[in-house]
Amino acid sequence: MIIETAPAKINLALHVRARRADGYHEIETLFAFLRDGDALTLAPGDLSLAITGPFAGNLALDDDNLVLRAARAYATAFDVIASGAFTLDKRLPIASGIGGGSADAAAALRALARRDGIAPDDRRLFACAEQLGSDVPACLLGVTARGGGRGELLEPLGGVTGTAVLLVNPGVAVSTAQVFAGWDLVDRGAIPSGDTLGRALAGRNDLEKPARALAPAIVDVLAALHDAGGATLARMSGSGATCFALYADDAARDRTAAAIRAAHPRWWCLESVLT
């Protein structure tokens, strides 16, 4: 039995630069990953998927699930029969801007590679990841990185490992396609050079405005994070609605988490660190 963590992903900054002819968008982003996320177990058997965990009921169990799609893509790339009994412990909210489905697909590719003795940096794995979604290559790499193109052109970065982070989601699912469709087509420029945290602080998330139009609760989450004080950076991740805040230490993070849980008991919070 093989167990892989599917860590939550955040975008420390996300600049949308252009709408491409192929329907995707040219972006520049800073990916970072948390210690915590979903968990995926792979056992011998025919290809199958079971879903457990607090968000299992929010995820459709069908052939289009990204774990099964990843297994089929892997089988084609490595000329093997698609197989493996997967169990996904769904701990992250879906459609929330933190790469849950993409992280699950990447975890499936890693698990299958471990099973078959394939090197984790095998180019065929990344080719599979690119087929599955724009965030999947970054989730397969699993380290802080600058992402270009539609997110698949990756440059590993450092400098934020061990940073305390708090995720907050108001319980609202947001369509990535609808958020990107609401982008105003204005290129506001590249992420500046420098160290990773400095680049994040000088950056922005160009999807925040269209996401707020679809999910006004994002405004409330960001206000709660800012009002609590102590955050080095507070911003929406990806296409929303999850927002994050970075802290100098765990104690400041935990104080904010406790205050937000008390004031908004229906919101989802996760205290973690960046890896």
- DSSP secondary structure of 188-257: --PPPSSSHHHHHHH--BTTHHHHHHH-THHHHHHHHHHHH--EEEEEE-TTSS-EEEEESSHHHHHHHH
% of residues, the chain, pLDDT over 90: 97
pLDDT category at 241 given cuts 50, 70, 90 is very high
Say if residue 186 is in the same domain as residue 135.
no
Task: Determine whether 9 is an active site residue.
Answer: yes
Work out the burial of residue 10: count CB atoms within 10 Å of its CB; fewer than 13 is exposed, 13-18 middle, 19 or more buried: buried
Say if residue 197 is in the same domain as residue 152.
no
Give the pLDDT mean for 182-201.
97
Say if residue 134 is in the same domain as residue 173.
no
| Chain mean position to CA 79 | 29
Q: What is the pLDDT of residue 62?
A: 82
Last residue of a domain, one of 156, 186, 203: 156
The pair of structure tokens assigned to 219 is 């405004």
Say if residue 87 is in the same domain as residue 168.
no
For 226-243, b/e burial (b = at least 16 CB within 10 A) is eebebbebbbbbbbbbbb
Based on the structure, what is the number of domains in the chain?
2
Q: What is the pLDDT of residue 61?
A: 80
Q: Domain containing 243: what range?
A: 164-273
% of residues, the chain, pLDDT over 70: 100
Give backbone dihedrals phi and psi of 13, rounded to 5 degrees, phi first.
-150, 150
Q: Are strands 25-46 and 83-89 parallel, antiparallel or unpaired?
A: antiparallel
Q: What is the pLDDT of residue 192?
A: 96
The Cα 71–Cα 76 span in angstroms is: 9
Say if residue 192 is in the same domain as residue 59.
no
Terminal CA-CA length for the chain: 25
CATH of the domain at 117: 3.30.230.10
Q: What is the pLDDT of residue 63?
A: 83
pLDDT at position 5 over 90: yes
Give the pLDDT mean for 212-228.
98
pLDDT category at 234 given cuts 50, 70, 90 is very high
Q: What is the pLDDT of residue 58?
A: 83
Q: What is the pLDDT of residue 60?
A: 76
Give the pLDDT mean for 29-38.
98
Give the pLDDT mean for 24-31.
98
Catalytic position from the list 9, 36, 89, 206: 9
The pair of structure tokens assigned to 247 is 């802290």
Say if residue 113 is in the same domain as residue 15.
yes
Last residue of a domain, one of 156, 179, 208: 156
Say if residue 145 is in the same domain as residue 14.
yes
Last residue of a domain, one of 128, 156, 184: 156
pLDDT at position 96 over 90: yes
CATH of the domain at 241: 3.30.70.890
Task: State pLDDT tens for residues 48-62.
Answer: 999 999 999 888 788
Q: What is the pLDDT of residue 114?
A: 98
Say if residue 147 is in the same domain as residue 201.
no
Say if residue 97 is in the same domain as residue 136.
yes
Please compute Rg for the chain using Cα positions: 18
Q: If we measure between CA atoms, which residue out of 236, 261, 257 comes closest to residue 14? A: 236
Cβ–Cβ < 8 Å for 70, 128: yes
Say if residue 106 is in the same domain as residue 19.
yes
Q: What is the overall mean pLDDT for the chain? A: 97
Say if residue 25 is in the same domain as residue 149.
yes
Q: What is the pLDDT of residue 59?
A: 84
pLDDT at position 183 over 80: yes
Q: If we measure between CA atoms, which residue out of 46, 142, 40 comes closest to residue 90? A: 40
Catalytic position from the list 38, 104, 135, 206: 135
Say if residue 8 is in the same domain as residue 130.
yes
